[in-house]
Amino acid sequence: MSAITNPWTTRTRSAAPSAEVRFGPLVGHREDDAMRRFRRYGLGQFIHFGLYSIPGNEWHGERPASLAPEWIRAWSGPNAPENWPDTYDRLNEVFDPKALDVREWARQAKRMGARYVIFTTKHHDGFALWPSVHSDYTVAQSPCGRDFVGEVVDAYTAEGIDVFLYFSVLDWHHPGYTTTVPVDEVGRAGWQDFLEYTRAQLLELLDRYPAARGLWFDGTWDASWVASHEFTYRLEQELRERRPGLIIGSRFRNDEHGARHFDSNGRLLGDYEQGRERKLPSDHAMLDGHDWDGVMTIGPNAWGFMRDTGDEYQKTADDLIDLLMRCRSMGGNLVVNFGPDGEGRMSAYEGDIAEQLGGWVRANADAIYDCGHVDIDPTGVGWLTGDRDRVFLTVINRPVTGVARLRLPADASRVPVTARLLASGRELELRRTDIGFDLDDAIYYDVVIPRDFTADRAFVIELTLGAAFVGVADRADARM
């Protein structure tokens, strides 16, 4: 049997015998309050903010050909400014986002319906957005002299939004950082120094911000980090001991065979799966019961501020509603990214998206937060979420037949018994439809969408579930 790789999780299943794994999972599937809360977040906000927000993907009218804006320090080639990395590294000397009122970000996120925020404490450039005592490249050495991590933790927590701290291990500023496994004494000493600095910064973050609920890791793919599996195993253990209940995603570490996200025996590393970003799993089965979130940009691949988005497609509120409900139908959270400018201002487009999405989320909250995957097929009409007693059909593709059809197994014991529009409460006609199609092991429930009902965006039909009606006589099937 050949190996099969799951395209979202990149987890490979093979027929190979179990490998011996010493540095695999520290904990398994969690059922504590923190994880139950995570499952109900539904919608999150990602914020990429840092020195890269100042150039916003360009410098004196020039821009890199193919880099995400937060990667601009890596700009090279004929149109890169002379001494560009040095120029970039000195942006800390002018970093002073006076317009930034983090409480306004938090209020906007609240109106959007976000229940958690993931904030970049340190991106690949190594610049810390808190006054870390373990670095000389932080907000403390900038004219702003502020602690943005602290401001985010306080402002979002005050709005009832949980905070997760994004932390990039990959670090372009620390002299000991190397992408490859160090081969000589000097390299090894530098790398050891880097590991100690990483550990110290992570413990510092946990100690300074006790209200933060989780760590969201990035930049953990380089061979140097992958080879440090014993160190990362011990560090994860230490972080969990330091903060019981802390949530850590699957990107932090790997096992001793280099398997990332999942160990060599297919066990999840971390509390939930951070699959391929800007992509979503294609079906619920792909998830193998793991918790997960999907992070998404509004443009194609820009996390940090982009001064000019040109003709790049920007996702609309309708796109995001579709993606949100697709995530929820598979039990995951959607995290929408925002990239404020160097002054800390959200763009007008992002502000508008937040308000539009928020309006829809408020009207349809029952279908979003306390719901998970339901094993009923919505026949291409949209996405289904629910619990034991109710299911919610988010209609994305309104059928011209005027009928939204659900497909259930013919022997389902709990079936839809009432239907109504969630936002208005309007009762809808519900029909049990036995198509009588030979070899079809299904029974259908059709909700009639009134012709006079107009909607300019996705809408939700709420169905209550009850005992299946039994009583239609079986007719003998044709012989062949």
CB 277, min distance to ligand FHN, A: 4
User: With binding defined as CB under 6 A, does residue 70 bind ligand FHN?
Assistant: yes
Q: Which stretch binds ligand FHN (CB under 6 A): 1-9, 65-73, 129-137, 321-329?
A: 65-73
CA-wise closest residue to 122 among 169, 178, 186, 75: 169
162: number of Cβ within 10 Å: 22
Taking the C-alpha atoms of residue 113 and residue 49, their distance in angstroms, rounded to an integer, is 21
Phi, psi of 3 (to 5 degrees): -70, 145
Nearer to ligand FHN by Cβ, of 51 and 295: the residue is 295
Strands 390-395 and 430-433 come out as unpaired
Q: Which residue has the tokens 């339901």?
A: 374
> Which of these segments, 18-26, 64-72, 96-104, 415-423, binds ligand FHN (CB under 6 A)?
64-72
Of 248 and 374, which has the nearer Cβ to ligand FHN? 248
Select from 233, 303, 360, 383 the one that contacts ligand FHN (CB under 6 A): 303
Query: Is there binding between residue 130 and ligand FHN (CB under 6 A)?
Result: no
Q: Which region among 63-71, 103-111, 202-210, 472-480 touches ligand FHN (by CB under 6 A)?
A: 63-71
Q: Which is nearer to ligand FHN, 74 or 206 (CB)?
A: 74
Interface with ligand FHN, residue 277, by CB under 6 A:
yes
Q: Does 68 bind ligand FHN (CB under 6 A)?
A: yes
Nearer to ligand FHN, 232 or 297 (CB): 297
Residue 301 CB, nearest approach to ligand FHN (Å): 8
Residue 202: both structure tokens together: 């992570």
Q: How far is the CB of 231 from ligand FHN (least distance, A)?
A: 21
Q: Residue 274 CB, nearest distance to ligand FHN (Å)? A: 8
| Least Cβ distance, residue 295 to ligand FHN (angstroms) | 5
**Does residue number 125 form part of the binding site for ligand FHN (CB under 6 A)?**
no
Count of chain residues binding ligand FHN (CB under 6 A) = 7
Both structure tokens of 358: 């928020």
Q: Is residue 151 a contact residue for ligand FHN (CB under 6 A)? A: no
Is 293 an interacting residue with respect to ligand FHN (CB under 6 A)? no
- Output 71 or 445, the one with its CB closest to ligand FHN: 71
Site residues (CB under 6 A) for ligand FHN, limited to 211-240: 218
Part in contact with ligand FHN (CB under 6 A); list of ranges 22-30, 67-75, 179-187, 367-375: 67-75
Residue of 54, 112, 295, 422 that binds ligand FHN (CB under 6 A): 295
**Could you list the residues that contact ligand FHN (CB under 6 A)?**
68, 70-71, 218, 277, 295, 303
